[in-house]
């Protein structure tokens, strides 16, 4: 099947996950895509396919030679609930001329906002119609993986076992919750869920969430002097004492505190923060800074302030640096298809962050798109082809690299 046809078949199935759902998967529509992928894998003659029909995970293995590394590839079937629509209408813009792309609802995709488009003149750009996101995140990644599998199912060449997994609910942070490591016994893996074709990311934030609860002292406002301690006032002071390192003021490898939720009244207030830092030391320092501020305000006002910090994920670089040949595979593979690799930082987390912590080194690769989670989402078909070719070369390089290591 042609890569474009495959991709269009996928995006026409709306598979937005639902952050308010208590089920896994969070939406039944994800089963529709899973069923399609299961049938395609069977038609490709893949050796071993397992469909978790309860939790909506698909695992498959294309057998290779035992002497080579077992390599895995992962993409997610759900799409963001942002800009959701029950109907996705993809539009193909052939021979893109470099100008503003005009869609319905007066939506425009401006190259000034998405500079990567300036390099796509003469190529094919795929968008939705302006009423929804496209769903290239991560159906482009799925299509590229399937295209890679089709290549190896039809061509004889040296490689080890190739494992793939398609997961649900990645967009709401639940895709690894029911992941079966037993069905994915790889030496290393790659998530195919990034941005530009030819990029690789293996350096991401350490992440935690801080939950703060402030118990004020309430009195009637008429007799409040020297008695009332307003929890909202304490909350405001706490926020002002943090360094001015917030998402809107930081970039590249700069960490931050993100105050994303406050609730309450003068008697009681809660505050939630995201804590992010690339450096493990910086990560711990940020947590310590918050603890010191809480202690200082608790002593100053004589009120109870509780702080709970929950770590979410860690920088995969701490694992990848000791297995750097899996990055070198990608750098060589990217050059093999004629483009320069891009090593980028991820100001966030991927499935690979948790998989790396759990024993599967797992960098993230690009898919050839931009504008994700919005009506401005777009993907370049030629870049999808390039990324699929890179995946093929990664498998070949893994066998070659294995021989070098041995």
> Which residues form the catalytic set?
78, 170
Cα–Cα distance between 168 and 55 in angstroms, integer?
Answer: 8
DSSP string, 151-214: HHHHS------EEEEEES-GGGT-TTTT--STT---SEEEEE--SSTTEEEEEE-EEEEEEEEE
User: Do 268 and 216 contact (CB within 8 A), yes or no?
Assistant: yes
What is the C-alpha separation between 190 and 99, in angstroms, rounded? 34
Return d(Cα 11, Cα 245) in angstroms, integer: 38
What crossing angle do the helices spanning 3-11 and 136-154 adopt, rounded to 10°? 140
The answer to whether the CB of 58 falls within 8 A of the CB of 174 is: no
| Distance separating alpha carbons of residues 393 and 329, to the nearest angstrom | 8
Both tokens of 204, joined, read: 């991401």
Please state, in angstroms and as integers, the Cα–Cα distance from residue 118 to each residue in 101, 113, 115, 327, following that order. Answer: 12, 10, 6, 28
DSSP states along 88-136: ---EEE-S--SSPEE-GGG-EE-TTT-GGGGG-TTS-EEE--SSS---H
Q: Is residue 16 a contact partner of residue 27, using CB atoms and an 8 Å limit?
A: yes
Give the single-character DSSP code of 70. P
Handedness of CA 112, 114, 115, 120 (dihedral sign): negative
Torsion of CA 56, 62, 67, 68, to 10 degrees: -70
Side-by-side strand order, sheet with 91-93: 91-93, 125-127, 378-380, 369-370
């Amino acid at each position: 099947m042609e890569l474009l046809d495959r991709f269009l078949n996928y995006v026409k199935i709306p598979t937005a996950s639902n952050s308010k759902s208590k089920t896994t998967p969070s939406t039944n529509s994800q089963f529709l895509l899973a069923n399609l992928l299961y049938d395609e894998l069977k038609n490709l003659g893949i050796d071993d396919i397992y469909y978790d029909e309860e939790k909506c995970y698909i695992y498959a293995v294309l057998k290779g030679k035992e002497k080579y590394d077992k390599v895995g590839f992962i993409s997610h079937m759900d799409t963001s609930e942002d800009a959701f629509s029950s109907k996705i209408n993809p539009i193909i813009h052939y021979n893109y001329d470099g100008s503003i792309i005009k869609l319905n609802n007066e939506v425009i995709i401006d190259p000034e906002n998405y500079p990567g488009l300036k390099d796509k003149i003469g190529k094919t750009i795929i968008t939705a119609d302006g009423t929804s996101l496209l769903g290239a995140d991560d159906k482009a990644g799925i299509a590229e993986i399937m295209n890679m599998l089709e290549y190896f199912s039809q061509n004889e060449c040296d490689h080890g076992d190739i494992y793939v997994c398609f997961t649900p609910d990645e967009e709401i942070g639940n895709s690894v919750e029911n992941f079966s490591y037993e069905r994915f016994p790889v030496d290393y893996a790659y998530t195919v869920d990034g941005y530009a074709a030819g990029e690789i990311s293996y350096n991401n934030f350490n992440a935690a969430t801080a939950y703060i609860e402030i118990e004020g002292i309430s009195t009637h406002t008429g007799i409040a002097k020297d008695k009332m301690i307003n929890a909202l006032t304490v909350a405001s002071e706490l926020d002002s004492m943090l360094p001015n390192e917030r998402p809107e003021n930081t970039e590249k490898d700069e960490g931050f505190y993100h105050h994303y939720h406050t609730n309450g009244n003068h008697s009681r207030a809660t505050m939630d923060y995201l804590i992010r830092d690339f450096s493990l030391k910086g990560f711990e320092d940020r947590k310590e800074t918050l603890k010191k501020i809480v202690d200082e305000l608790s002593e100053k006002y004589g009120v109870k302030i509780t702080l709970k910090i929950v770590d979410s994920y860690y920088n995969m670089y701490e694992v990848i640096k000791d297995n750097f040949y899996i990055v070198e595979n990608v750098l060589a593979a990217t050059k093999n298809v004629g483009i320069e690799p891009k090593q980028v930082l991820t100001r966030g987390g991927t499935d690979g962050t948790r998989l790396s912590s759990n024993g599967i080194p797992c960098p993230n690769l690009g898919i050839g798109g931009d504008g994700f989670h919005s009506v401005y989402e777009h993907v370049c078909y030629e870049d999808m082809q390039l990324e699929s070719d890179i995946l093929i070369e990664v498998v070949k390089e893994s066998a070659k690299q294995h021989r070098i290591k041995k």
